Amino acid sequence: MSQAVVEAHKLTFRWQPDHADVLNIEDLRVDSGEKLFLVGHSGSGKSTLLSLLAGVIVPQTGRLSVLGQDMHKLRSAQRDHFRADHVGFIFQMFNLIPYLSVVDNVLLPLRFSSSRRQHVAALDHDEHLEARRLLDHLGLNDPALLERPVTELSVGQQQRVAAARSLIGAPQLLIADEPTSALDPHHRQTFIELLFRECEEQGSTLLFVSHDHSLGQRFDRQLDMADINTATQEDQ
C-alpha cells in the first residue's frame, strides 16, 4: 500500500466558536501519486477543506496530517513554510501576478521555498530554463508570447502558466481549485491531460476540485464533498 499524502480523521472546523461546524469529515485519505477528483458545489465545504490542507487554518478537533506532518503541531508561520515547500496551487482564475512576466510568475514559488529551489538546482539547468521547460511542456513555447504582459494572455494560457507555477520545484501535492471552469470544453480536456502528464512525470499527487461531474471519469478516484462532509451546510 502506498504512502498517504493526506490523512484526516474525525475532522471538524467552524469559523466562529458559536457557529455550527462547516466541515465534519470522518475519514479522508489520499494516496501518494493518486489523482483524486473532488466534486463539490459552492457551499459544500470544499474551500474550507482546501484551506485546511494548505495549512491556512487548522481544525478545531480531529487529526489532519499532510505528507505525514500533523498540521496542528505546526505554528502558523511553519504551516506557511510547509505550504511553500510542498503544495502547489492552481485557482479558478486570476492566478497570475499582473506586474510580473510569464517566467517570473512561474519562478515565484522558488522565492518562497528553499526546498523547491534546491529541487530545481539539482536539475542540470538553471531556474529560467526549468520554467521555460515546464511552459514548453504545457504548450507555451512561443517566445513572443512569453514576452507579453500576463494580463494580455488568454484565460487558457494564463491557466497553463499557473499550472507551470504550481509544478515548478516538484511539490508533492498539487491542489487545483476549479482550474478549468473558465475554459471552453476543448481546452478543458487538453489542460487536464497536460496536468496529468506533468504530475506523473514529477510524481506529484493531484487533488482536483470541480463542480463538473463530467470531468471526473479519467481520474483514479472520485469523491463527492456531500458524501464525506457530514456537517449541515448552510452559509459556507
Partner 1 sequence: MMAVLQLAWKSLLNRRFTALITIFTIALSVALLLGIERLRHDARQGFANTISGTDLLVGARSGPTQLLLYSVFHIGNATNNISWKTYKELSQHRKIAWTVPISLGDSHAGYRVIGTTQGFYEHYRYAGKRNLAFAQGRPFKDVFDVVLGSEVAKKLEYRIGDEITLAHGAGKVNLIKHDDKPFRVVGILGPSGTPVDRSLQVHLHGIEAIHKDWFAGSPIPGVRFDAERVRNMDLTPKTITAFLVGLKSRIATFRVQRDINEFATEPLLAILPGAALAELWEMMAVAENALLVISVMVVVVGLTGMLTVLLTSLNERRREMAILRSLGARPGQVFALVIGEASAISLIGLLAGILLLYLGIAGLRPWLETEFNLFISLGLPSHRELGLMLLVWLSGTLIGLIPAQRAYRNSLADGLTIRV
Question: Which chain residues interact with partner 1 by CB under 8 A?
Answer: 47, 50-51, 54, 56-57, 76-77, 80-81, 83-85, 87, 89, 91-92, 94-100, 108-109, 111-113
Nearer to partner 1, 147 or 193 (CB): 147
Whole-number minimum distance, CB 88 to partner 1, in Å?
A: 9
Q: Shortest gap between Cβ of 94 and partner 1 (angstroms)?
A: 5
Question: What is the C-alpha to C-alpha distance for residues 50 and 190, in angstroms, rounded to an integer?
Answer: 24
Of 126 and 217, which has the nearer Cβ to partner 1?
Answer: 126
State which amino acid sits at residue 18.
D
Q: How far is the CB of 151 from partner 1 (least distance, A)?
A: 10
- Report DSSP letters for 86-107, one per residue: HEEEE-SS--S-TTS-HHHHHH
- ∠ Cα 163 85 168 (to 5°): 30
Instruction: Report the nearest approach of partner 1 to the CB of residue 51 (Å).
Output: 5
The residue (of 31 and 108) whose beta carbon lies closer to partner 1 is: 108
Strand partners, 24: 12
Give Cβ neighbours of residue 39 (< 8 Å, ≥ 6 apart): 209, 210, 211, 213, 216, 222, 223, 224, 225, 226
Q: Least Å distance between CB 158 and partner 1?
A: 12
φ, ψ dihedrals at 124, nearest 5°: -90, 10
**Among 9, 3, 12, 10, which residue's Cα sits nearest to residue 67?**
3
- Nearest-CA neighbor of 102 among 156, 177, 194, 164? 164
| Residue number with CB closer to partner 1 (31 or 155) | 155
